[in-house]
């Protein structure tokens, strides 16, 4: 009987220990003067959101390091500077806070203080120019989108806990609208037939909505201007689904108004035609 040959046990491959190290990212504190913005960041912030960003850093801490590179495909930058790939707005906010002598912390509980004139960075080392631009776009565009119902519920929960809402990137009207929308019957606000149904004015609306509904009676000349204004406000403020429901409701009201005007016009034209016919017969 032939002996079974023992197969040698294959040794498991060693993982790349550099990748598994908890400190594989080069996170360090450096002077603000050694960090500079790049010349390809297309992301912009409104003055309102910029101020909210500053406020959040003061209240909740500078919790997220700025992502930088210290060189490109040609090697380390000769001037020894770090170039920002992600986090330019927070860098500019921190510049102002340092210049104003504000105390900034690295955590929400204000346990660890950020030294004056310093910034927390995550240095990725030498990063190819093309890769840096790719990463800039990815960091800006892959943050996800808020579920408006969940967001409103979370804001309402914070209000119930009596936690300050001032640090959130919304104005007072938006916050109040979100809080009131949690218990509001939005399904009863309008039909869900894809825009072909009739809109009935509900009796009980959140405080902001009656003011908006007044615009449903806008003249033909104002249509385009009001529509452009609404789009600008919605995009600038980052408003979510619920305000769009109100806008959809307004569109239906406006369409009803146009339809009634058209019907009145056709009716008047018909009456004039009949009147002319009668006048011709009397002659």
Whole-number Å distance between alpha carbons of 270 and 7? 99
Whether residue 165 is found in the same domain as residue 135: no
Residue 17 lies in a domain: no
Structural domain span for residue 191: 148-272
Which of 119, 141, 163 is a domain's end point?
141
Domain boundary pick from 120, 141, 162: 141
pTM for the whole thing? 0.62
Least confident of 35-39, 85-89, 181-185: 181-185
Mean pLDDT over all residues of the chain? 77
Give the CATH number for residue 109.
3.90.1530.10
Distance CA 221, CA 225 (A): 8
Mark which of 94, 125, 141 sits at the end of a domain: 141
Check whether 177 has a pLDDT greater than 70. yes
- Closest by CA position to 52, among listed 177, 171, 162: 171
| pLDDT for res 193 | 46
Domain presence at residue 74: yes
pLDDT above 60 for 59 = yes
Q: Do residues 153 and 268 share a domain?
A: yes
Q: Which long-range contacts (CB under 8 A, 24 or more apart) does 210-217 make?
A: 212/246, 212/250, 213/249, 213/250, 213/253, 215/250, 216/250, 216/253, 216/254, 216/257, 217/257
Whether residue 65 is found in the same domain as residue 169: no
Burial class (CB in 10 A: 0-12, 13-18, 19+), 218: middle
Residue 280 lies in a domain: no
Number of domains composing the chain: 2
Backbone φ and ψ of 85, nearest 5° = -105, -40
* Element spanning 85, H or E: strand 82-86
Mean pLDDT in residue range 52-75: 97
Reading the block at residue 101, the tokens are 């002598």
Percent of the chain with pLDDT over 90: 47
247-264: average pLDDT: 63
With a CB cutoff of 8 Å and minimum separation 6, the contacts of 104 are: 57, 58, 61, 62, 94, 97, 98, 113, 114
- Within a domain: 165: yes
Do 158 and 242 fall into the same domain? yes
């Amino acid at each position: 009987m032939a002996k079974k040959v023992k197969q040698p046990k294959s040794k498991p491959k060693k993982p790349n220990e550099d990748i598994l190290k908890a400190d594989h990212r080069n996170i360090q504190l450096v002077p603000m003067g050694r960090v500079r913005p790049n010349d390809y960041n297309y992301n912009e912030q409104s003055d309102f959101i910029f101020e909210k960003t500053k406020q959040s850093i003061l209240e909740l801490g500078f919790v997220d390091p700025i992502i930088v590179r210290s060189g490109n495909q040609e090697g380390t930058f000769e001037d020894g500077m770090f170039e920002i790939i992600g986090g330019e707005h927070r860098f500019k906010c921190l510049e102002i806070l340092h210049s104003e002598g504000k105390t900034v912390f690295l955590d929400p509980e204000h346990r660890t203080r950020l030294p004056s004139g310093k910034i927390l960075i995550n240095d990725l080392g030498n990063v190819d120019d093309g890769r840096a631009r790719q990463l800039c776009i990815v960091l800006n565009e892959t943050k996800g989108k808020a579920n408006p119902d969940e967001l409103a519920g979370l804001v309402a929960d914070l209000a119930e806990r009596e936690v300050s809402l001032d640090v959130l990137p919304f104005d007072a009207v938006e916050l109040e609208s979100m809080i009131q929308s949690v218990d509001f019957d939005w399904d009863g606000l309008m039909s869900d037939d894809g825009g072909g149904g009739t809109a009935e004015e509900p009796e009980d609306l959140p405080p902001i909505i009656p003011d908006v509904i007044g615009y449903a009676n806008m003249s033909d000349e104002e249509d385009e201007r009001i529509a452009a204004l609404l789009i600008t406000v919605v995009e600038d403020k980052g408003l979510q689904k619920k305000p769009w429901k109100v806008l959809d409701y307004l569109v239906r009201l406006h369409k009803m108004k146009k339809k009634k005007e058209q019907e009145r016009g056709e009716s008047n034209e018909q009456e004039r035609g009949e009147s002319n016919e009668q006048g011709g017969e009397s002659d």
